[in-house]
Amino acid sequence: MKFKTNYRLLLGKVLFFSVLFAQVVDALTIETFLQSMPPQTMNESKALFEQALHENDLFLLSLCERILPAEQGVDAASHYALYGLSQYVMQPDKTAERLRVNRVLEISLIRAHHPEVQRFFMSLLGLCGDRVTLKVLEPYVCDPVVYDDAVRTIASIGGFAAVSMLFTLQCPEDSENKDASIQNALALFGGELEDLARTTGLPRVLLTAIVAPEGIENQVYVAQLCREALQNKDLKPHYRAMVLRFLVHLDHDAALPELLQAASSSEPILWGMALHLAGKLEGEAVSEAWVSILTQVDEAVKPQVIFMLGKRRDDTAQQAIRNAMRDPSWEVRRAAYETITKESGHAFLNDLLEAMGRADEQREVKAIKSSLLRIPQLEEAVWGEISGDWNAVLSLPTAQKRAYLDILADRKATRFAPMAARLAVDENVQVRQSAYATLASVGETEHAELLFEQLLREEDTSAADSARDALAKVTHRLGLEAMVIDKIKHALSTQSNEQIIRLAKTLRDVGSPEAFDTFRQMVEQAVFAKPQDQEQSSALLDILARWQTSEGEALLVSLWQRLEEETLRMEALKQCIVSIQRNYPDPEKQHEHLFALEEKCTTDSERQLVSEALVKSAITGLK
């Protein structure tokens, strides 16, 4: 009562002076202040708000008066200013200023009549308000419109205690809404127990223990209640999971039987929780207990038990993982591979290598490879396994050879290049292709020579492409362009058509100016040769159209203009178009080059070909 009287006196004084001196306030000062909103830096903010705080209260009240309902006009600068001020005074050394700003905001709240404006001041007070503010807000809890805002602001400032006090508040017309708001705000600070009691139907003693375990008086009794609840089949699975979790928290290892029982449940939430909690119990005896139920649990659960055991480090758990790698079920084997980590990997290296030897499905090889790649210093470990004998790998199954090669490529294990070299001549074409890819990343100069030989030797076209691709990569990586071009020049005269094309494609992949010169000589010689080898010439023009630089386009245009034989001339023109389309994805650029080409056409059929390309390009441009 005393507080209210004093506050009213203070409020009266301020209001009196605010009315009396309203005309004295320097409007320009406020305008200047607001023109600086929002300040761009913390220093600017500090200077501005210090300046504002040096002004009298009327200055601050006048600022507050600028807050109007949005429909009457939004003064964003005032919003910035008042928000900034309410934040600024919350700094630790601004206690006195905070009191002052709070009082101003409270007065402004009292003077406001529109709910939107009242809400604005409440939102600021929610950030900086103090115990006095709580009293100012109380009447608003009875307001039919902003009661909930008031309750929330009180909750922000005073927490549980302040909201609890509101139950004693007598409003002129008591409303259910107000009570609901208060209940709602209280729930923020601890409505769990009531919620759980309402939804689970579990004994209150048990729920109280779950919500506040530090207050348990009779642990044995609560554990007993947990065990009874777990037997209650009417209790929803996720509530049983909650009880199981609490029982483990309470009884630790003594809850193992309940965990094992839950693992046999048909409810995924329950067996999932059991497996999750199993990780919290230590000791080999726990692992033994889990291993003992492996044959009893559901097929869907067994892999998950394995996965859980994989996180344990004792011998029993590790042996279970080894056994799992030989399990007839793919899901169980998969769980075993997936559970291997960087830390546990070395212990399972032999098992993984053996599993790789047994693996006959791509998904299994992939899973094992992933596990191997997690093992630190894998290469050294494998080197030890094969006793330093590269030839040992030759007798491995195809899938295993390919997986090793992939691993070496991923790891860029140059030390293992000799292994890849041996497998580059393997009888299986897939192994050879993997070996080429590996040599692309780990091969040395001698391996470039091997790849060159294989490029010419391969009967399989796609394998030859792999060899060529690897050769180009090694060439670029080691700077072997001169050597490779030299070898190509020497080989050209003795090779068949197909091999000549392979060599030409290699020149394109090498892509250096020297490679282009060599290729130019090849193609000029081929297209102007008499008698004409049409097939070879066409193939070379096709390669030229896919040259990595625009030099290819220029040479094609030049060849087309110089060629006389009609079929080959048309072929050259087609490849000119392909080259333009490939070099200029932008339709406008494409048009430009195609128009230039059209101008050089000498026959109707040539013009028609270019014009079709122009139409196609225009349609693409439209899309």
Stretch that binds another protein, among 80-88, 383-391, 429-437, 449-457 (CB under 8 A): 80-88
For residue 203, state whether it binds another protein (rule: CB under 8 A): no
For residue 416, state whether it binds another protein (rule: CB under 8 A): no
For residue 596, state whether it binds another protein (rule: CB under 8 A): no
C-alpha 484/C-alpha 489 separation (Å) is: 9
For residue 10, state whether it binds another protein (rule: CB under 8 A): no
> Per the omega criterion (within 30 degrees of 0), is the bond before 38 cis?
yes
For residue 128, state whether it binds another protein (rule: CB under 8 A): yes
Return the residue of 6, 56, 177, 603 that touches another protein, per CB under 8 A. Answer: 177
For residue 299, state whether it binds another protein (rule: CB under 8 A): no
Instruction: Give the residue from 142, 190, 145 showing the smallest Cα distance to 164.
Output: 190
Residues 330-369 interacting with another protein (rule: CB under 8 A): 338, 341-342, 345
C-alpha 106/C-alpha 7 separation (Å) is: 11
For residue 239, state whether it binds another protein (rule: CB under 8 A): yes
Stretch that binds another protein, among 173-181, 313-321, 497-505, 602-610 (CB under 8 A): 173-181
Check: CB of residue 364 under 8 Å from CB of residue 330.
yes
For residue 201, state whether it binds another protein (rule: CB under 8 A): no
For residue 39, state whether it binds another protein (rule: CB under 8 A): yes
Structure tokens at 91: 């700094």
For residue 444, state whether it binds another protein (rule: CB under 8 A): no
Residue 166 or 568 with smaller CB distance to another protein: 166
Q: What are phi and psi of 311, to 5 degrees?
A: -85, -5
C-alpha 294/C-alpha 90 separation (Å) is: 61
Full DSSP string of 51-84: HHHHS-HHHHHHHHHT---GGG---HHHHHHHHH
Residue 120 or 290 with smaller CB distance to another protein: 120
Check: CB of residue 574 under 8 Å from CB of residue 590.
no
Q: What are phi and psi of 340, to 5 degrees?
A: -75, 130
Chain centroid, CA 434 distance in Å: 31
DSSP 8-state class, residue 425: T
> Per the omega criterion (within 30 degrees of 0), is the bond before 531 cis?
yes
What is the closest distance, in whole angstroms, from the C-beta atom of residue 606 to another protein in the complex? 44
Return the residue of 51, 87, 164, 398 that touches another protein, per CB under 8 A. Answer: 87
Stretch that binds another protein, among 67-75, 467-475, 482-490, 503-511 (CB under 8 A): 67-75
Structure tokens at 94: 């601004």
Helix (H, G, I), strand (E, B) or coil at 445: helix
Residues 240-269 interacting with another protein (rule: CB under 8 A): 241-242, 244-245, 268-269
Return the residue of 175, 414, 558, 611 that touches another protein, per CB under 8 A. Answer: 414
Residue 54 or 342 with smaller CB distance to another protein: 342
For residue 434, state whether it binds another protein (rule: CB under 8 A): no
Residues 151-170 interacting with another protein (rule: CB under 8 A): 151-153, 155-157
- The CA–CA distances, whole Å, from 601 to 502, 552, 594 equal 32, 19, 11
Check: CB of residue 355 under 8 Å from CB of residue 332.
no
Residue 188 or 615 with smaller CB distance to another protein: 188
Q: Which residue has the tokens 């209640």?
A: 225
Check: CB of residue 253 under 8 Å from CB of residue 281.
yes
Helix (H, G, I), strand (E, B) or coil at 350: helix
Return the residue of 10, 15, 34, 38 that touches another protein, per CB under 8 A. Answer: 38
Residue 441 or 538 with smaller CB distance to another protein: 441
Q: Which residue has the tokens 């003992």?
A: 292
Residue 29 or 87 with smaller CB distance to another protein: 87
For residue 304, state whether it binds another protein (rule: CB under 8 A): yes
What is the closest distance, in whole angstroms, from the C-beta atom of residue 490 to another protein in the complex? 32
Stretch that binds another protein, among 53-61, 126-134, 313-321, 394-402 (CB under 8 A): 126-134
What is the closest distance, in whole angstroms, from the C-beta atom of residue 220 to another protein in the complex? 23
Instruction: Give the residue from 373, 414, 241, 52 showing the smallest Cα distance to 249.
Output: 241
Residue 42 or 622 with smaller CB distance to another protein: 42
Return the residue of 5, 23, 41, 494 that touches another protein, per CB under 8 A. Answer: 41
Check: CB of residue 364 under 8 Å from CB of residue 333.
yes
Residue 133 or 579 with smaller CB distance to another protein: 133
Residue 71 or 427 with smaller CB distance to another protein: 71
- The CA–CA distances, whole Å, from 575 to 311, 363, 558, 599 equal 61, 43, 12, 17
Number of residues engaging another protein in binding (CB under 8 A):
85
Instruction: Give the residue from 430, 500, 438 showing the smallest Cα distance to 474.
Output: 438
For residue 515, state whether it binds another protein (rule: CB under 8 A): no
What is the closest distance, in whole angstroms, from the C-beta atom of residue 243 to another protein in the complex? 10
Residues 536-575 interacting with another protein (rule: CB under 8 A): none
Residue 447's contacts (CB-CB under 8 Å, 6 or more residues apart) are: 417, 420, 421, 424, 439, 474
Residue 153 or 433 with smaller CB distance to another protein: 153
What is the closest distance, in whole angstroms, from the C-beta atom of residue 105 to another protein in the complex? 12
C-alpha 570/C-alpha 354 separation (Å) is: 60
Stretch that binds another protein, among 3-11, 291-299, 409-417, 462-470 (CB under 8 A): 409-417
Return the residue of 9, 19, 20, 188 that touches another protein, per CB under 8 A. Answer: 188
Residue 373's contacts (CB-CB under 8 Å, 6 or more residues apart) are: 407, 410, 411
Return the residue of 47, 180, 212, 554 that touches another protein, per CB under 8 A. Answer: 180
Helix (H, G, I), strand (E, B) or coil at 419: helix
Stretch that binds another protein, among 122-130, 280-288, 463-471, 555-563 (CB under 8 A): 122-130
What is the closest distance, in whole angstroms, from the C-beta atom of residue 144 to another protein in the complex? 14
Check: CB of residue 89 under 8 Å from CB of residue 101.
yes
DSSP 8-state class, residue 480: -
Q: Which residues of 266-279 are buried (b: 16+ CB within 10 A; e: fewer)?
A: eeebbbbbbbbbbe
Return the residue of 18, 30, 45, 509 that touches another protein, per CB under 8 A. Answer: 45
Residues 373-402 interacting with another protein (rule: CB under 8 A): 373-379
For residue 47, state whether it binds another protein (rule: CB under 8 A): no
